Amino acid sequence: MITSLILASALALVPTQVLAADNGLAITPQMGWNTWNKYGCNIDEQLILDAAKSIVSSGLKDYGYNYVIIDDCWQKNKREKNKELLPDPTKFPRGMKALVDDIHDMGLKVGIYSSAGTLTCGGHIASLGYEETDAKTWAKWGMDYLKYDNCYNQGQSGTPKLSYDRYKAMSDALNNTGRPILYSLCNWGEDGPWNFASTIANSWRMSGDIYDNFNRADPACPCETYDCLLPGFRCSVMNIINKAVAVGQKARSGGWNDLDMLEVGNGGMSHEEYRLHYTMWAALKSPLLLGNDVTNMTSETKEIIMNKEVIAVNQDSSYSPAVRMWVKGDQQMFSGNLANNTQVVILLNAGDKAAKMTATWDDIWFYSQPHVDASKSIEVRDLWKKQSLGNFTDRISLDVPAHGVRMIKFMDSAQSS
Ligand code: GAL
């Protein structure tokens, strides 16, 4: 009896063994809302509470957006005597725990931000060398998510091993708290996180920062391919898509390529462009983190971010990112396996004029063995029009708007024997 009591209490002291990519989190890409794209450093408790309330009242929560993430600029710029971080008392007068409790009471989860450097990108105190202390503090506040940036890293990057070690320190510290905390690594694709992060993190940014623009080439974002040295910032939607396709196959359940937070609703793109942006983030299995003002949304914004069928592609249990099957000038075609022998296909037209685009069964099922038979008649559903387009055989041709997409689902691609 005594022995079993001792054993039971000893076991209770052993922290639950959770490993970042294997911590049971982000089985499908995480969804939520983040302060940065819309508000930058202008954040405070009231703004975050108002957003959380709107995520519930607008119904966004029911669509799956359940993480409320506080990005940079929440910190007080001095550690306490015991080395703990505190929030800026003017922005968060009740401290973090009270805010987190309020958001938890709404049935939502909460995320926080820091950098694997001496300072964050906004110049605030960060966590390099303080991993254990900070992870414990966040766990104490009830945090469910950490976005972990790359600024001021003291030269501890440049090889995958240096980056891995620096990010693993926080992964271990989070796991040591025993609290499941989704670990979202944000090193902008430096040193190829798709190769080194999948055993330590739930997602990793694969590009420099997005900005609210469809395809403008900007010198601040010099990389056009994923393997370039200066990830930069002000990366357009098309720039990020063209980099993401190359690393798509590195994603897996529990570890996702993060294409950065969404800009839908922030005003810099047309409705078609935002639809394309959201479609590709969903199909390439990026986390879907809203970055707009959720307290005041137009019906056009809601139409995009509240489309159940598109969200279902992102959250599908096949966990496979769509693959780019071809590029012809401004046109691209993507095909992705979904559960139950269904298939998503995207016809993307980055050109300035509407175009008719055609995808053949051979294009779509190029990698399936055997190919789906060209004579097979398959029902096709339009996921944005939310209606069936009828049955098709061998190929499908559709009009695709300028800077736009058609996102369709093949309802039965089982190969007949
Ligand atoms: C960048 C990061 C952004 C945002 C910003 C905050 O490095 O990519 O998403 O977090 O820092 O300063």
| pLDDT band at residue 8 using 50, 70 and 90 as cut-offs | very low
pLDDT per residue as tens digits for the range 376-385: 999 999 999 9
pLDDT at residue 369, rounded to an integer: 73
How far, in Å, CA of 405 to CA of 258, rounded?
Answer: 21
SS3 state at 109: strand
Structure tokens at 337: 């396996």
| pLDDT band at residue 20 using 50, 70 and 90 as cut-offs | low
Structure tokens at 394: 């061998």
90 membership: H or E segment, kind and range: none
Contacts of 9 (CB under 8 A, 6+ apart): none
pLDDT at residue 17 tops 50: no
How far, in Å, CA of 281 to CA of 240, rounded?
Answer: 10
pLDDT at residue 405, rounded to an integer: 99
Average pLDDT over residues 138-155: 98
pLDDT per residue as tens digits for the range 306-319: 999 999 999 999 99
pLDDT at residue 9, rounded to an integer: 40
Work out the angle at residue 347's Cα, subtended by the Cα atoms of residues 343 and 349, and round it to the nearest 5 degrees: 165
pLDDT at residue 300, rounded to an integer: 98
Nearest by Cα to 193 from 163, 154, 155: 163
| pLDDT band at residue 347 using 50, 70 and 90 as cut-offs | very high
CA 291 to each of CA 51, 156, 164, 204, 235: distance values in angstroms, whole numbers, following the listed order: 11, 30, 28, 17, 15
Contact predicate 65/51, CB 8 Å: no
| pLDDT band at residue 416 using 50, 70 and 90 as cut-offs | low
In the chain, pLDDT over 90 holds for what percent of residues? Answer: 90
For 323, which DSSP code? E
Distance (angstroms) between ligand 1 centre and the Cα of 88 equals: 18
pLDDT at residue 413, rounded to an integer: 82
Nearest by Cα to 183 from 249, 192, 193, 191: 193
Residue labelled with tokens 């992060």: 197
Cα-only R_g, the chain: 22
pLDDT per residue as tens digits for the range 315-338: 999 999 999 999 999 999 999 999
pLDDT at residue 117 tops 90: yes
User: Could you tell me which residue, 17 or 70, shows the higher pLDDT?
Assistant: 70
Distance (angstroms) between ligand 1 centre and the Cα of 193 equals: 17
Contact predicate 117/107, CB 8 Å: no
Contact predicate 112/72, CB 8 Å: no
pLDDT at residue 2, rounded to an integer: 40
Whether 149 sits among the annotated catalytic residues: the reply is yes
By CB atoms closer than 10 A (0-12, 13-18, 19+), residue 318 is middle
- How does the average pLDDT of the chain come out, rounded? 94
pLDDT at residue 10, rounded to an integer: 40
pLDDT per residue as tens digits for the range 193-248: 999 999 999 999 999 999 999 999 999 999 999 999 899 999 999 999 999 999 99
Average pLDDT over residues 272-297: 98
Enumerate residues lining ligand 1, CB below 6 A.
36, 71-72, 113, 120-122, 149, 151, 186, 209
pLDDT at residue 314, rounded to an integer: 98
How far, in Å, CA of 115 to CA of 152, rounded?
Answer: 8
CA 266 to each of CA 162, 238, 303: distance values in angstroms, whole numbers, following the listed order: 36, 17, 14
pLDDT at residue 353 tops 70: yes
Q: Which of 144, 209, 258, 260 is catalytic?
A: 209
The single-letter code of the amino acid at 16 is: T
Nearest residue by C-alpha to atom 1 in ligand 1: 121
Please state the atom number of ligand 1 nearest to the C-alpha of residue 261: 9
Nearest by Cα to 276 from 246, 304, 300, 251: 304
Nearest by Cα to 51 from 213, 223, 408, 292: 292
How far, in Å, CA of 383 to CA of 406, rounded?
Answer: 8
User: How many CB atoms neighbour CB 74 within 10 A?
Assistant: 26
Helix axes 45-57, 96-105, angle to 10 degrees: 10
Structure tokens at 315: 């959250």
How far, in Å, CA of 398 to CA of 324, rounded?
Answer: 18
Please state the atom number of ligand 1 nearest to the C-alpha of residue 233: 8
Whether 209 sits among the annotated catalytic residues: the reply is yes
pLDDT at residue 6 tops 90: no
Average pLDDT over residues 3-17: 41
Please state the atom number of ligand 1 nearest to the C-alpha of residue 208: 8
Q: Which of 69, 72, 157 to mutate to test the pocket of ligand 1 (most atoms within 8 A of CB)?
A: 72
Nearest by Cα to 166 from 123, 201, 121, 122: 201
User: Could you tell me which residue, 312 or 374, shows the higher pLDDT?
Assistant: 312
| pLDDT band at residue 191 using 50, 70 and 90 as cut-offs | very high
Query: What's CA 211's distance to the chain center, in Å?
Result: 15
| pLDDT band at residue 19 using 50, 70 and 90 as cut-offs | low
In the chain, pLDDT over 70 holds for what percent of residues? Answer: 94
User: Could you tell me which residue, 5 or 37, shows the higher pLDDT?
Assistant: 37
Contact predicate 128/154, CB 8 Å: yes
